[in-house]
Amino acid sequence: MEQVLKKFYSSFDNLDYNGMISCYHPEAQFSDPAFGTLNYDDIRLMWQMLCTSQSKENFKVNYYNINCVSNSCSADWKAIYLLSKTSKRVHNSIHSIFVFKDGLIYRQKDDFNLYHWAKQALGLKGVLLGWTPYFQRQLQERTISMLSRYKLKTINTQNAG
């Protein structure tokens, strides 16, 4: 399990979404404060969308504290990147909990301080609204909408080729 997580985070650091996706079980679920809960197909699209929106020179993932017991692991990691919409630099510290099935990630729950993220990513708007439940709902609606648009774009690109 630890090797799977090392591959996952190393792939993420290299913006290799295919490497990341290969670490997931086909029945996987993912959840975090920004995207809510996603199934396997949406997990694939999320990582593809996030990786292709970044450039290697403005992106870094550091992982540490991988601890595994039975079929579960936890890890801490930090993502440092430019948010494409605002061009603001974000240093996001995340704690992840994983459950494994058949040697692959079956459940992943990422947790981070949404207010801290909002202050960095959105500036004054994040300072004023980032702590509210309204903000979290709006953020999840926007991220799901972005994911839906990305899915349509991906389907249209595949059909055109």
pLDDT digits (tens, 9 = 90+) for 14-39: 999 999 999 999 999 999 999 999 99
Structural domains in the chain, sorted by start:
2-151 (3.10.450.50)
Q: pLDDT value at position 115? A: 94
Please provide the average confidence, as pLDDT, over all residues in the chain.
93
Who's near 44: CB < 8 A, 6+ residues apart?
17, 21, 24
Would the CA dihedral through 81, 85, 51, 26 be positive or negative?
positive
Q: Which amino acid is at 137?
A: R
Q: What is the pLDDT of residue 141?
A: 94
Q: Given a cut of 80, is residue 159 above it in pLDDT?
A: no
Quick one: pLDDT at residue 123? Answer: 87
Confidence of residue 155 (pLDDT cuts 50, 70, 90): confident
pTM: 0.90
Considering only CA atoms, which of 158, 154, 121 is closest in space to residue 52?
A: 154
